[in-house]
Chain A
């Protein structure tokens, strides 16, 4: 009854790519970790980022190390003002929902609540195996993984922040990130 999420992994990936494009999120597919680091570094150069905050995760540390600008591991101390001054936030995610183009981040996988919403750009690095067909699978996975110890925040992100409040005309970057990149490894 709900929208199609794909019967196979390849079908899901195709649906995901189509949904993300419609949402004006950017999907970057890379073969391996090294290529992921390179892709993010190129983004940083192209967009002239000065400071990037990241979550200290094995998938992200090598990416942060390859950045051509200042990289700040934002997990330990939480400074709102400093985070607000960052050009981009770099996080992983729990899973990715092909059916809707939604990325599920959590206060566990994203280094807290603010890193994926306060900086002006959000970059998610994930593995292709994290793509699930539909919303039900993503919720079931979160439940299986965390049991009754759910992270205090779980958030489905469906494209860059947006509003239609002025004359119902779509504008990206209302309060959250204006740009959303998903770097998918494998």
Chain B
């Protein structure tokens, strides 16, 4: 069993039994369901909007090399600098070098899951750079020393009392149980940090090939401040974030907000096309964009699951997933949690280590229904199971499948087996078969029929 699987099983068992925490998550998501449906109802045709959104991503991802090249040409023409990173190590080295070359003292970051993917904070801190997360949820998780629980709502599992205690401990503020007061504490604390920072690091939600702009979506205004005040702006993005046309955003931006958070539009959707231009009074002097592959091209090479690269990271599939809601986001042990994480992590980090996530699904299809860009999520989980059985079958796979194959091809053996099985079925109820014990605890086996189906059929149709 891989380490990641052992941790997953342990965490999932503990979390699924924690009724309190599950109720808390359900309550936190309650408002989301309502708002999402209200906003969806405003669309003249939500299903057609999904078609348009998925087409926009499909058309860019299926022609990725050309579209990326076009984007980079326009981005550079606007005065930005592009850095290509094959993997996490290269991306970290590029960003560290920019920080070192510019003798950076303070770094402020806005929310960027790609930076979690490459463990950027660790690398920066080890090299002696102070780095502060400015998104409230990420700030709280940074203080807790914990990975994000949900890639859109990073600290949705933390109760206000715990946040108050955390702030008292780290910031020396008086305890409070008001979310508003807690938000204001973070606001006051972070304000000066933006003003003092010399590097701002952000992610990117979309790269617009037509204009060479990057688009950043956020609610709090922290990314706006991060890209406005420090003298250097570094954006980190996966190569799959590109779209062809500026107009593609007219469908993608509202859908991202509605599907993921039940909003008509996220509070700030900002397009950046370079460093400060001549005649502009502020903005950074340098604008760097790190374009990360990190096994995305491996996923691109798989025609069956390529559409997983269409993901706009809205988080809708997590919000509706019965597995996510019961085991929580931390159990996954991945950068991207929930159904999309279960689909792509085996591609990004190895099928052998991460195949157990393919089973972390009830195959109800709620994720596929929720996805604004129509990624066939639950079928991809099945595809991963099939690929894993082919690539590195487990002992169970081998014994069971070969055994089944052997028996099914020999009618006499099948009939004998059936007879034995029918006779011993009542015993099975009491037998402590390890795989079945949990299942049997609350279920009774049916009574075995006296004769097999084939026998009955033969008699009736004789």
- Listed in ascending order, the chain A residues whose CB lies under 8 Å from chain B are 1-4, 19, 22-23, 74-78, 80-81, 84, 100-102, 107-108, 111-114, 117-118, 134-136, 139-140, 143, 148, 150-169, 171, 173-177
A118 to B282, CA, bound (A): 12
Interface residue B82 (Cβ < 8 Å from any Cβ of A): no
Q: Which of B27-35, B92-100, B337-345, B386-394 contacts A (4 or more CB under 8 A)?
A: B27-35
With A135-B254, A155-B271 as known contacts, state yes or no: A113 contacts B283, CB within 8 Å: yes
- B222 near A152 with CB under 8 A, answer no
Q: How far is the CA of A23 from the CA of B225 in the complex (A)?
A: 21
A74 to B261, CA, bound (A): 35
Instruction: State the 8 A-B residue pairs at the shortest beta-carbon distance, nearest first.
Output: A176-B221, A174-B220, A113-B228, A165-B137, A136-B250, A112-B282, A166-B179, A155-B270
Q: Are A152 and B273 in contact (CB under 8 A)?
A: yes
The answer to whether B220 touches A168 (Cβ under 8 A) is no
- Residues of chain B within 8 A (CB-CB) of A168 are 28-29, 31-32, 153, 156
A86 to B49, CA, bound (A): 42
Given contacts A3-B264, A107-B283, A112-B282, contact A173 B187 (CB under 8 A): yes
CB contact under 8 A between A174 and B136, given known A100-B254, A157-B268, A169-B179 = yes
Q: Is B363 an interface residue (CB 8 A)?
A: no
CB within 8 A of B159: which of A111, A112, A167, A177?
A167
Known: A118-B228, A156-B270, A175-B191. 5 other contacts (CB 8 A): A1-B52, A112-B283, A117-B224, A153-B227, A175-B190
Q: Which of B32, B43, B225 has a CB less than 8 Å from the CB of A176?
A: B225
The answer on a CB contact under 8 Å between B220 and A2 is: no
C-alpha gap A2/B252 in the complex (Å): 10
Q: Decide if B246 is an interface residue (CB 8 Å cutoff).
A: yes
A2 & B250 in contact (Cβ 8 Å cutoff)? yes
B7 within 8 A of A: no
B282 near A139 (CB under 8 angstroms)? no
Instruction: Please list 10 pairs of residues, one from A and one from B, whose beta carbons are closer than 8 Å in the complex, sorted by A's number.
Output: A1-B44, A1-B251, A2-B43, A84-B195, A107-B277, A114-B225, A143-B211, A152-B280, A158-B268, A161-B267
Q: Which of B32, B134, B264, B277 contacts A151 (CB 8 A)?
A: B277
Task: Kindly name the residue among B135, B140, B228 whose own CB sees the greatest number of chain A CB atoms within 10 A.
Answer: B228
Residues of B within 8 A of A139 (CB): 246-247, 249-250
- B265 at the binding interface (Cβ < 8 Å): yes
Complex Cα–Cα for A111 and B281 (A): 7
What CA separation (Å) do A150 and B135 show in the bound complex?
A: 28
With a cutoff of 8 Å between Cβ atoms, the chain B residues found around residue A160 in the complex are 267
* Shortest Cβ distance from residue B172 to the other chain A in the assembled complex, whole angstroms: 19
**Residue from the list B227, B250, B267 in contact with A159, Cβ < 8 A:** B267
A147 to chain B, nearest CB (A): 10
A173 → chain B, closest Cβ, in Å? 7
B238: Cβ under 8 A from any A Cβ: no
Min C-beta distance of A125 to chain B, whole Å: 19
Is A78 within 8 A of B281, CB to CB?
A: yes
Complex Cα–Cα for A101 and B39 (A):
13
Question: What is the minimal beta-carbon distance from A102 to any residue of chain B, in angstroms?
Answer: 6
The answer to whether B280 and A150 have CB atoms under 8 Å apart is: no
Query: A160 to chain B: closest CB distance in Å?
Result: 8
Known contacts A1-B52, A3-B254: does B179 contact A155 (CB below 8 Å)? no
CA–CA, A169 and B46, complex, Å = 26
With both beta carbons as reference points, the residue of chain A lying nearest to B221 in the complex is identified as: A176
User: Closest approach, in angstroms, between the C-beta of A76 and any C-beta of chain B?
Assistant: 7
In chain B, what residue has the closest Cβ to A19?
B264
Chain B, residues 318-337, CB within 8 Å of chain A (1/0): the string is: 00000000000000000000
CA distance A110 to B186 in the complex (A): 27
CB-CB contacts below 8 Å: B129-148 with A: 134-137, 140
Given A135-B254, A157-B268, A174-B187, A1 and B179 touching (CB < 8 A)? no
**A contact residues around B263 at 8 Å (CB):** 158
- For A161, the closest partner residue in chain B by CB is B221
Compute how far the CA of A163 lies from the CA of B183 in the bound complex, rounded to whole angstroms: 8
B253 contacts the other chain (CB 8 A)? yes
Taken residue by residue from 217 to 245, chain B's Cβ proximity to chain A (1 for < 8 Å, 0 otherwise) reads as 00111101101110000000000000000
Does residue B447 face the partner (Cβ distance < 8 Å to A)? no
* B225 near A175: Cβ-Cβ < 8 Å: yes
* Contact call B183/A150, Cβ cutoff below 8 A: no
The verdict on A164 contacting B250 (CB below 8 Å), with A107-B277, A174-B183, A175-B190 known, is: no
Q: CA A84 – CA B264 in complex, angstroms?
A: 29
Cβ contacts under 8 Å, A75 to chain B: 281
The reply to whether B265 and A100 contact each other, CB–CB distance below 8 Å, is yes
Tell me the complex Cα distance, A154–B227, Å: 12
**Complex CA distance for A25 and B439, rounded to whole angstroms:** 54
Q: Which of B259-316 contact A (CB under 8 A)?
A: 261, 263-277, 280-283
Chain B residues closer than 8 Å to A22, beta-carbon distance: 264
* B155 is an interface residue with CB less than 8 A from chain A: yes
Please name the residue on chain B nearest to A106 by beta carbon.
B271
Q: Which of B134, B253, B261, B274 contacts A135 (CB 8 A)?
A: B253
Question: Which A-chain residue is minimally distant from B156 (CB atoms)?
Answer: A168
Given A113-B228, A158-B267, A152 and B283 touching (CB < 8 A)? yes
Q: B352 to chain A: closest CB distance in Å? A: 36
Verify A156–B277 contact, CB threshold 8 A: no
User: How far, in angstroms, from A3 to B38 measured CA to CA in the complex?
Assistant: 11
B224 touches A3 (CB 8 A): no
